[in-house]
Amino acid sequence: MSTSTKLYQKLWNSADILRSNMDASEYKSYLLGLIFYKYLSDRELSYVGELLDINEDNLEILQDEYEDFYQTEDAKDFIEEIEFKFSYAIRPSLTYTNLIREIDEKTFELDHLAQAFREIEQSSKAFENLFEDIDLYSKRLGQSLAKQNETIAKVMKELSDLDLSKYSGDVLGDVYEYMIGTFATESGKKAGEFYTPQAVSKLMAKIAMAGKEDIKGFTVYDPTMGSGSLLLNPRKFSNEKTSIRYFGQEKNNSTYNLARMNMILHSVPLSYQSLSYGDTLADDWPTDEPTTFDAVLMNPPYSAKWSAAKGFLDDQRFAAYGILPPKSKADMAFLLHGFYHLKDTGTMIIVLPHGPLFRGGAEGKIRRKLLENGSIDGVIGLPANVFFNTSIPTILMILRKDKKDRSVFFIDAKDEFVKEGTQNNLSDENIEKIFKTYMERADVEKFAHLASFEEIAENDFNLNIPRYVDTFEEEEEIPLADVAGDLRAIEESLGANKSKLFDILGELVGTNDQANHDLEAFIKAFGENYD
C-alpha cells in the first residue's frame, strides 16, 4: 500500500466520528480545518527542532523542548524567527500536540482550540478568517458543550499519531485533494461549488502546459477557483514547478478558505500565491500587475445569472464585442473575462455547457466575433455525468490569442469514459487519447475533425459538435432470407402456442348452462380473431 493511500485512509477514518451527525458538505469544514491546523502545528514543531539543533523528530519530545525554551529570555527572538519562516507562530500551549495532552488528561476545552485558530488567523493577512467556517459550538456536534467538546476531541485524537510535517507537499497536498474529491462524491450536487474532478483538471492542465513545460515563472489564473484544483494541476506537467505563480478568485467564502488551505498544504509559498475573495464578474480582478497570464483555467457555474448592466459595455473585458451576454446566462461573460486576462502567448480552457456553442442572440454575435478573430482553437465534447453538480454533458473550449489561422479543432469524446459507481470518469487512457488527438490536430473518423473557417461560416458560426464530427452508426443490414426465416420460426411458435391454448380452453367447464353457453361463444370468437 502506497504512502499516499495509507495517509488518506488514516485521515478519512476520522470522518466516521462526524458522519452520523451531518452530511459531507458540512463535516468537510471540520475535518479539513483540523488537518490543516495539525499540519501547521507539526511543521512548526519540526522547525523548532531545527532551530534548537535537536536531532529528534518525535513531536512529544519537540513539544517539551519548545515549552522549556519558551520560558527563556531568548523566546521572543525565537518566535520571531518562526514567524519569519511561516508567517505564523503557535504558542507551546496551543500546539496540536499540547491539546492532545489536554485531551488525555481530561483538561481539554474547545475554547483552547478556538484560541489557537484565532491566533493563527491574526498572525498575518494570509491566514485572516481562515477557520471561520468551523463552528466549534454547533449543535450538530452535540446538544451540550460537553458533548461538543467530546466530539471534537475524538476527531483530534484520531489524527494525533500522524506527523504531517514528514510528508512532502506533493504527497500531503494530493491526499488533501483526494479527500476533497471524496467529499465531493458524498456531497453530490453541492460539490459543484468547490470541486472540478481531477481527471478533467488533469486534461485541461495537460493541454495548457503543452510546449510550456520549461517556462520559469509560469503564471496560471482561475477566476472561479473553487478549492483550487485547476490552479494546482499545471505543476504536475511543469519542469519548473517551484517557480509557478498562482492567481485565483472565488466568491464563496467557505470555498475560498478551502483553496487557501489547499495551496499551503501543497507547499506553495505565500509569495507565489495571490488569491482573492470576490465576485469575478462584478469586480474585475486582478487589476494590479500582472493582469494577464500564461494559462487561464476555469470551470464557472453553468448558465448562471449576472447583472449585465449597461455600464459593462464600457468595461475593457466586454467593450470590444459591442454587446453583453444575456442576463440569464453568464457563460460567455465568464469566457470573455478569462480571455481578457490571457497573455498573447497563453492558452485558456473553460468548461461550459453545450449551449454557448449554438445559442443565438448576443451569445451568437460574441461567438462569431471570436471566430472571426481566430480566438477559438478547439472544442472538446466531454461525457455526460463527469461532474458532481450536473449530469448534463459539457465541453471544453480552448482559446488562444496567437493563432495563425481561424480553424477550430473538434473532438467528440462523449464515449471516452469509465464507469465508477454512479459517475463517469476519464481514465488515464481516455485523457491520453484526447490529448494526443488534440495535439496532432488531424481528422479521426467519428472522433475528431479540423474545421476551416469557411466550413464554420457555412454553418452560420454554429459550433455544435455533431455538425463537424459525424458519429452516426448505420444499422447492420440483415439479409431478407434471414428475416423470412425468423418470421417462419415465429409463425411456428405461435401455432404451437395456439394449439396449447385451445387445449386449455377446451378443459374449462361452466358452472351452469348459461356459463357454458358464454364460454363456447368466447372460444369461437377468440379462435376467429386469433386466425
Give the side-chain half-sphere CA count within 13 A for 466. Answer: 6
What's the Cα-to-Cα distance from 346 to each of 212, 295, 297, 349, rounded to whole Å?
A: 9, 5, 11, 10
What pLDDT shows up at residue 510?
A: 64
Q: Give the C-alpha separation, 175 to 156, whole Å.
A: 18
User: Cell digits for 220?
Assistant: 496560471
In this structure, are strands 423-425 and 418-420 parallel, antiparallel, or unpaired? antiparallel
What are phi and psi for residue 525, nearest 5 degrees? Answer: -65, -40
| CATH number, domain 3-167, options 3.30.365.10, 1.20.1260.30, 3.40.640.10, 1.10.8.80 | 1.20.1260.30
Helices 253-265 and 169-187, axial angle in degrees (round to 10): 150
Q: Give the C-alpha separation, 47 to 83, whole Å.
A: 11
Which stretches of the chain drop beneath a pLDDT of 50?
191-192
Query: Among residues 199, 221, 159, which one has the least CA distance to residue 15?
Result: 159
What pLDDT shows up at residue 393?
A: 87
Contact, 375 vs 403, CB < 8 A? yes
Q: Give the C-alpha separation, 266 to 233, whole Å.
A: 11
Contact, 47 vs 62, CB < 8 A? no
Residue 416, H or E segment: none
- Rg of the chain over Cα atoms, rounded to whole angstroms, equals 31
Q: Which residues contact 386 (CB under 8 A, 6 or more apart)?
A: 197, 199, 200, 394, 417, 423, 424, 425, 426
Q: Give the model confidence (pLDDT) of 91-141 as tens digits.
A: 999 999 999 999 999 999 999 999 999 999 999 999 999 999 899 999 999
What pLDDT shows up at residue 178?
A: 80
Each domain of the chain, given as residue ranges in start order, spans: 3-167, 189-467, 481-530
> What long-range pairs does 133-136 form, CB within 8 A, spacing at least 24?
133/29, 133/33, 133/253, 133/254, 133/257, 134/29, 134/30, 134/33, 134/34, 136/110
Contact, 41 vs 95, CB < 8 A? yes
Q: Give the C-alpha separation, 519 to 525, whole Å.
A: 10
Which overall architecture, per CATH, does domain 189-467 show? 3-Layer(aba) Sandwich (3.40)
Q: Give the C-alpha separation, 425 to 417, whole Å.
A: 5
Q: Give the model confidence (pLDDT) of 373-407 as tens digits.
A: 999 999 999 999 998 767 788 999 999 999 999 99
Residue 95: Cβ within 10 Å count: 25
Q: Give the model confidence (pLDDT) of 225-236 as tens digits.
A: 988 989 999 999
Query: Among residues 366, 2, 350, 53, which one has the least CA distance to residue 178?
Result: 2
